[in-house]
Amino acid sequence: DTAVSQTPKYLVTQMGNDKSIKCEQNLGHDTMYWYKQDSKKFLKIMFSYNNKELIINETVPNRFSPKSPDKAHLNLHINSLELGDSAVYFCASSQTLDSTPQYFGPGTRLTVL
């Protein structure tokens, strides 16, 4: 069973569109994260949620809005997509706020044309 899953795996869209990426973890963890991997492969944290509550919001444009309907899901909605949003987005989870993310999802490669 996949611990952290993301859909879709690939997303190609036009500038200006709105898109969502979904993430689910079946580990019973309290904390979930979104990371962005740039073209040089550096991963950078965007958001973290603990029990559906926003904990970290790292200087991310307002066009990015995470939503956590329950603690097993953390979705990422992006409005008015820009070329610079092209990247691989990874979801992760950890048991608690203070513990280390053990598993990341397989990533969603977003390409904005």
Stretch that binds other proteins, among 10-18, 32-40, 59-67, 72-80 (CB under 8 A): 32-40
Cα–Cα nearest to 101, from 38, 33, 55, 42: 33
Q: Does 4 bind other proteins (CB under 8 A)?
A: yes
Q: Does 56 bind other proteins (CB under 8 A)?
A: yes
The binder of other proteins chosen from 60, 68, 71, 90 (CB under 8 A): 90
Cα(57)–Cα(86) distance, integer angstroms: 19
Q: Does 42 bind other proteins (CB under 8 A)?
A: yes
Q: Does 98 bind other proteins (CB under 8 A)?
A: yes
The binder of other proteins chosen from 45, 73, 109, 111 (CB under 8 A): 45
Q: Prior bond to 106 cis, omega within 30?
A: no
Cα(23)–Cα(68) distance, integer angstroms: 9
